[in-house]
Structure formats: structure tokens, C-alpha cells
Amino acid sequence: MHQWWKSGVAAAAVVVTLLGGLTSAAVWPPPSGAGPCSVTKTANVAVPMRDGTILRADVYRPATSHAVPVILMRTQYGKEAAQVQPSRYQRPSWFAAHCYLVVVQDVRGQFASGGTFSEFTPDRTDGYDTVEWAARLPGSSGKVGMYGSSYVGATQWLAAEAAPPHLATIVPANTGSDYYEGWTYENGAFRLNFIEPWVMDTIALSAANHRGDTTVAHQLTQDDKNIDRWLHYVPYRSFPPFHPGDPAVAPYFYDWVAHRTDDSYWQRWALPRYYPRISIPVLDVEGWYDAFLTGGLHNFAGMVSSGGSAWARTNQRIVIGPWDHIGWGRPESIAAPMLKQIGPVGNSPINELMLAWFDHFLKGIDNGVAHGPAVNYFEMGANVWKTTAAWPLPGTKWTNYYLSSGGHAASVAGEGQLVTTAPAAGQQPDSYDYDPRHPVPSVGGHSCCAAPGGSQGPYDQRSVEQRGDVLVYTTPPLATDTEVTGPISVTLYASSSAPDTDWTAKLLDVHPAGTVVNLNNGIQRASFRESSRAPTPIEPGTVYRYTITVWPTSNLFRAGHRIRVEISSSDFPQFDPNPNTGSWLGESTATRIAHQTVWHDARHPSALVLPVIPASASGKASTIFPM
């Protein structure tokens, strides 16, 4: 029984008149900025797919005699919600009041739409069919733009991969470039604290409600209340809440666990393969602590270099703000306290900027919103907006900060240093024992989906640094302000007593008062050091050169602050703990303790590699977003 019948709403279209002057008693969305067109809403409009499945959409129609473009959202989180909350987009009627046809559709197998839900699988063809259907709506000019965040960003890119002829532009926010790397896995590690709670409390739950399975829906709701317990459950391949063996509940989760390498299962959706087929302008919006930051940056750089036409390559823009996945700087948003302290300068401009973008690329208004490839980024620490023409920033000075100690860098009480001169011979390595039964806890980071439970955002790391299985390396107090903006990595020479293990790295800003703020983090599974498609074990005791990709940031390290990096072997529950056995917790419950050694001598120059931005290369700073 489909959702619209259960809710008592007839499947036939329902028309509701909306006033052109929107008002609301709620703080979000604000009532200001509505356009001149009054709006009517037609609910549950049938949208036929090529296989005969009927999806349902709400259509918001402006009162105008002119043909107008279409703005389309395809969501698995409920078309009536339309990602307005928590404090994100304006209402669909707000955009329609600016004289656009607005279509918000439930994806296949969710809420009011027919069919069986499966993550990723149908959204390329369903997206193509919906774009072309929307372009033919009465009153449509034939141009379609899309918008939405997270998976609703993925529905845009998946549609764009199919190249529907009437898709003119997309505005994806907080979304990735690859559903294996940087979405489900990260350099071989399973993104545990994103994947399990996300499936449990959103897509599996809403799909169960859609098909009328109240028993499973109730069980998932109860299990979500005990998510901490379930994050400890292994092996993942038999994770009970998703009913292994039952194809109705969440079979895609078990597919993800079964395909732990970047094989053909994932490659069919890998967006970089499709950049040359995509010939449209893209406005991408990301956050420094978002779960899919690297994917957004890859999409921007990939479309600039490999987009399907010179026009598309020129008309790419990305905005990166001081945000996590759903905390967009609004005063009432859910976000880490340190992000909220940034204040109004950090408020996302997405609604106004997106409207200007659509005005230009769908209506042809010359408003200056597109002026060649552009990166608008928020520099934390200084709390200002800056603009550049490329990513990484032109003029970046890649600077090595070498790990150094006399062999005693464990915990903040140790002697670990970061120095700018290469190490001399004779330095003793640092060592610690990593026990997967007692992993280093995640305190903030770039996970998903809401702080603080989602391991995302900036938090004081002093409690983590008390542990003996965390190596801590720090510069002296900086003599001058230092801007760090761009990709970050750690070159690590390390050995382990295990046939497989993990290496983690975290970049931090140490304030003079003692607060230690995480900027971003990364992980590298040892067996995936050379390939994500064909992992190979390591030889116990052998020193290997690893590159740990720490996700990008932009931060002004003020004079008197110190730069710090933490090295360890776990970050739980953001990532699954490596059991050190050569297997993983997706398949096995066995674990062992690994003795870890980090080398930093003349033969093994382990280093934090930072993108330092000289004052001559840094853009003009502004406390107002450059619309």
C-alpha cells in the first residue's frame, strides 16, 4: 500500500493556493525575499518512468502568462519536507514566487512514489525521465535546473551522467563524486558512523513505512535509540537491524559491505568517468567539515579540466563555508558549538546565490553571477570570505613540517615536534600499541549527518591527546599569521607487527589558551596503500611509505598559535577499527593488538605537508559573501 493512500491523501492531484507574499512565524525559513508571482501547488502529480513505474511530484506553479524555467528537486527524504529543515533551503513556493515552475519529487520507492527503493540504482534513468517530463510541463520554457543537498545532490549528478537534453544546470550541495571513495569507504576504511545510522534512521525506515511494514519501521526506530550499541556490532555482513537475507529491508547495505574494494559495482556510478559527457554549468556548495567535501572539490576541479564543453568548463563555481553536513551557519541550526560561534558572517548564502544562478543560466539575466571558474572559500581563524580562480589555490607553497622526537611522542605529555628542517640521522622512532578493542574515540571530524552524534565539526581534542596510542607533534608558537588553505597530506614511514592495520592523521590548531581545535582528519588502511581495487597485505616489521590524505581546510593560524598533527591507528566510530588480522570487521570478529612504529630519521623523513598561502597569493578578504 503506497504512502499517499496510508496518509489519506488521494493519488490524484490536489491543488492548493499559496499567497505570493509568504509569511511564517518560524525563524526558518525567513519570510523576506519572496518574488512577485503568486503560486498554486498541485500535489502528487503522476510522473511516469520508462518502465511504467509512477513517481509522484508536487508542482508549484507561478501565476504568469510567460513560459518559465523549471527548478527540480528529486529527494528520498520526503517531497513535502523539501529539505527546508533543519534551516537549509527556502520553501519551494519561495522559489516559485520568483516566477519559476518548481517540481519536488519523491524518488522511487519512497513516500508517495511507486516502485521499490534501492540506493543509487535507478536514479540515473529516473532522473533523465523526470527532467524531460518537467521540461514538457505546460508553461515550461524547456529549461530545467536542479537543486538539493546530500543524496539530493547525488540525484542531480546521476541525472547529469545520463545527459538529458533539457537539463541546463545543477546546484548540488554537500555531495560526493564517488559512492565508494569518500562516501561509503575512505582509503579502505568503512565510514561506519555515517553509513549505519544514516540507513537506519532515514532511508531504510522511510522505505519500510512506504511499503507498510510497520513492524520493521518500529524496530528500526527503537534500534536507532541504541545506535551506540549497534555501532559496536560485528561482523557487519550480518548486521541484525537491516535483516540480512531479507531483500525488502536494506539489501544495498549488505552489497556495500560485500564490495569493500572499488570494483565494478561502484565504478558504474563513478562520476569522474562522466565529466566529459556533462556539458552544463554547476554551482557546488560544500562545508569544511562536511562528509563529502573532497567529492565536491573533485567535481569542481574535474569539470573545470574535463567537462563536456568549453562553455561548461568555464562556468563552474564552488562555495566552501564553515559548515558541517546540515549546519549551514543559521543561528538556529544544529552544529558544533565552535561553528556556531563564528556568527552571521558564516551564514550560508545558498538560497540567494542559487536564485541568482538560476536567473542567469535559466532565464538569461546578465547579473554577474558567472565570471569564469571561481572558488569562494571561508578562511576560518580570520572568519572572512575569499575568492580564487582555481583549486588548489594558485601560488600555494607546499611546505613540509617534519615529525621529530627522541622516541617519546606518545600523548600530549611527550616530546613530539614539527620542524621545517629535514631530520638528521639517529632519531629514534616513536611506538605505541593499537588495540582495536579500545580504539581512539572520534571527537568531531568530517562524518555525517548531525553534530555531535555524527563525528563532525570542530571540538577541543585535549581529552584524545591524553592517550598513549596517540602520537602528538607540534610546532613552536608561530611568529606570524599563517594561512593554510587546500589539500593536506602526511607522508608517514611506519611499520607494524600486523599483516594489516590503519594509520590516522589529524591537523589541529593549538590556541595560546590551550584549546586544541581539529581542522580535518584522514585515514589510510595499510593494505589499501597502493590500490583501492586490489589491496595487498603488509609484511610485519617492514617499513612502508604511506600517504595519509587529510581532508582539506582553510584556516588562519594566528601568530602565537601552534600547528599540530596527531598520528594514531583508529578513529572510532567515524571509521571501523582495523582488527589487525588481515581480515576486517565486515567479515570477522577476531582482533589482535598491533605494535606500531613511526619512523622520522634521515632515511625516513615523515612529514605533514601543508598548503601555505603567501600573502601575495591570498585573495582579498571580505566579511560579506561575494554574491
Using only the alpha carbons of the chain, give its radius of gyration: 25
In angstroms, the Cα distances linking 36 to 40, 59, 64, 70, 362 are 13, 18, 10, 17, 18
Selecting among 123, 223, 290, 509, the annotated active-site residue is 290
Strand partners, 508: 518, 564
455 catalytic residue (yes or no) = no
Residue 265, Cβ density class (10 Å: 0-12 exposed, 13-18 middle, ≥19 buried): middle
SS3 429: coil
- Cα–Cα distance, 282 to 319 (Å, whole number): 11
Selecting among 325, 360, 446, 600, the annotated active-site residue is 325
Strand partners, 45: 57
Q: Map 170-196 to HEC letters.
A: EEEECCCCCCCECCCEECCEECHHHHH
Starting from the edge strand earliest in sequence, which strands make up the sheet with 167-173, in order? 14-18, 39-48, 54-62, 101-106, 68-75, 140-149, 167-173, 282-287, 316-321, 374-379, 384-388
Bridge pairing between strands 607-613 and 384-388 = unpaired
CB-CB contact of 585 with 560 (8 Å) = no
Residue with cell 563524486: 177
Selecting among 150, 404, 496, 570, the annotated active-site residue is 150
Phi and psi angles of residue 230, each rounded to the nearest 5 degrees, phi first: -70, -25
Cell output for 227: 545506535
The 10 Å Cβ neighbour count of residue 512 is 11
Which string of b and e fits 217-246 if b means at least 16 CB within 10 Å? bebbeebbeebeebeeebebeebebbbbee
Residue in 194, 177, 354 with CA at minimum distance from that of residue 281: 354
- Cα–Cα distance, 250 to 244 (Å, whole number): 8
- Cα–Cα distance, 504 to 524 (Å, whole number): 6
Residue in 387, 386, 427 with CA at minimum distance from that of residue 403: 427
CB neighbours of 147 closer than 8 A, spacing ≥ 6? 71, 72, 73, 89, 156, 170, 171, 172, 173, 354
For the chain, give me the number of helices (H) and strands (E)?
Answer: 14, 26
Position 129, amino acid: D
Bridge pairing between strands 316-321 and 282-287 = parallel
Phi and psi angles of residue 240, each rounded to the nearest 5 degrees, phi first: -65, -40
Cα distance from N-terminal residue to C-terminal residue, the chain:
46
150 catalytic residue (yes or no) = yes
446 catalytic residue (yes or no) = no
Helical packing angle, 151-161 and 123-135, nearest 10°: 80
Q: Residue 224 has what DSSP assignment?
A: H
In angstroms, the Cα distances linking 218 to 201, 223, 529 are 11, 9, 42
Position 14, amino acid: V
The residues assigned a catalytic role are 150, 290, 325
